[in-house]
Amino acid sequence: MNVSTYLSELFAQIADIGRDEETGGYRRFAYSDEDRRLRAFFAQTMEKLGFTISVDAANNQWAWWGDPDRDPEHNLVLGSHLDSVPDGGAFDGPLGVLSAICAVELLLGEGFHPKGAVGIVNFIDEEGARFGVACLGSRVLTGETTFARLRQLSDYAGRPFVEVVASTGVDPTELRRDELALSRIGRFVELHIEQGHQLINLDSPLGLASFIWPHGRWSTILTGVPNHAGTTPLAERDDPVIKAAHFVLDLAASAEKHEAVATCGKIVVEPNAVNAIASKAQLWVDARAEDTDTLDRLAADIARFAGGYGGTLMNESLTPATVFDRPLTEAIVSILGHPPVISTGAGHDAGILATHGIPSAMLFVRNPTGVSHSPLERANMEDMVAGVEALMRVIQGLSG
């Protein structure tokens, strides 16, 4: 079977899972029914191909070809995640998992014998769309996030993390760093849709990642006095939504001043009534910068702005600047005939593993719209085929 037919078939099998008919985007949140169906798809597909399936202590799914404990240093892991942001595109995450399945299966079908074992991983909750912490699967796997933090989390509906996880049959108190699973990742290569315009501008279907900008998430609650929308004179109002509006404008101006980015993509207003001045507004901020000092200065500004409107800025997660493994990246660059190497403002599980000393690299596939975390995200079949073929060459080059 050729690459494009195989890849299209794999995408078709998950196309309906979590798809919103109105927007065309995907809602695939961790520990949801959609997540359960995606995990079942992954397990069944890999089992059918003869892989051994396991789930680590962080609830990430693994599929291994060969014995992962025989010669772990030579193991090569591919994969990504299957969850999405609210109304996310079809490719952020799934492209990495499905391309890996395609590449490995085609190579094994040709009789290729890898030196070490080859694994494919489906990381849980990469986007953090449900509980607010991105890359939760890799953060728990590496021990960066422990149960002490997990037990504090709740989802968008206010349901505690522990309750949601327990309802899926998983014991949340057992979620922790997994030494065995970590010891098996000799090297990790994550293929991912590009989430910007760099490869379009460079006229290249593929690129390698050099580093990920440091980034973090914060939240603040701005309060006011709830009152009648018709009878309360403007001068007598204490309206948290007005404060929120100023806060967001301050944020944007500060990001511009620091040549960084800051986003307030989630605001919850209470009680959310048309004809009542709100009692409070909770805002979440995602901020990223090219270097740590700049991010620190931006975060200090944001804390000051929140304080000015009576709020306290709380940090929800912080990811340091991540430099991908140079020897591994250089080896892949030379295997692939020197595609461009680009930095990115997007976070990834490969970045978390790299921060914890696991040799990791990323391969990006051009996105013709340059848009991501949106139903407008796209990938051309020709570029996706180039991505799978590149992964095949990487597997042969690194594990042959």
Tell whether residue 100 is a contact of ligand GLV (CB under 6 A).
no
Which part of the chain contacts Mn ion (CB under 5 A), choosing from 90-98, 105-113, 175-183, 336-344? 90-98
Tell whether residue 89 is a contact of ligand GLV (CB under 6 A).
no
Nearer to Mn ion, 258 or 373 (CB): 373
Q: Percentages helix, strand, coil for the chain, rounded to the nearest 5? A: 40, 20, 40
CA distance 356 to 155: 27
**Chain-centre distance of CA 144, in angstroms?**
16
Question: Of Mn ion, ligand GLV, none, which one does residue 354 interact with (CB within 5 to 8 Å by kind)?
Answer: none
Single out the residue of 172, 214, 347, 351 in contact with ligand GLV (rule: CB under 6 A): 347
Question: Of Mn ion, ligand GLV, none, which one does residue 93 interact with (CB within 5 to 8 Å by kind)?
Answer: Mn ion
Does the bond joining 327 to the residue before it have cis omega, within 30 degrees of 0?
Answer: no
Tell whether residue 224 is a contact of Mn ion (CB under 5 A).
no
Nearer to ligand GLV, 227 or 263 (CB): 263
Strand, coil or helix: 280: strand
Nearer to ligand GLV, 168 or 263 (CB): 263
Single out the residue of 106, 107, 134, 262 in contact with ligand GLV (rule: CB under 6 A): 134
Return the exposure string of 38-58: e unless at least 16 CB atoms fall within 10 Å of the residue's CB, then b. Answer: bbebbbebbeeeebeebbbbb
List the beta bridge partners of residue 189.
78, 361
Tell me the per-residue interface mask from 334 to 373 with Mn ion, x by CB under 5 A, - otherwise: ----------------------------------------
Single out the residue of 346, 391, 395, 398 in contact with ligand GLV (rule: CB under 6 A): 346
Single out the residue of 35, 92, 190, 301 in contact with Mn ion (rule: CB under 5 A): 92
Binding residues for ligand GLV, total number by CB under 6 A: 4
Question: Of ligand GLV, Mn ion, none, which one does residue 347 interact with (CB within 5 to 8 Å by kind)?
Answer: ligand GLV
Pinpoint the alpha helices (H) of 110-217.
136-141, 147-150, 161-167, 179-183, 198-201
Tell whether residue 285 is a contact of ligand GLV (CB under 6 A).
no
Which part of the chain contacts Mn ion (CB under 5 A), choosing from 89-97, 142-150, 172-180, 263-271? 89-97
CA distance 372 to 374: 5
Tell whether residue 93 is a contact of Mn ion (CB under 5 A).
yes
Least Å distance between CB 190 and ligand GLV?
12
CA distance 283 to 294: 22
Least Å distance between CB 284 and Mn ion?
16
Least Å distance between CB 226 and ligand GLV?
33
* Binding to Mn ion, residues 17-36 (CB under 5 A): none
* Binding to Mn ion, residues 53-82 (CB under 5 A): none
C-beta neighbour count of 314 within 10 angstroms? 13
φ/ψ of residue 42, rounded to 5: -60, -50
Q: CA-based diameter of the chain, in Å?
A: 78
CA distance 368 to 120: 26
Strand-strand pairing, 215-223 and 187-193: unpaired
Give the interface with ligand GLV as residue ranges (CB under 6 A).
127, 134, 346-347
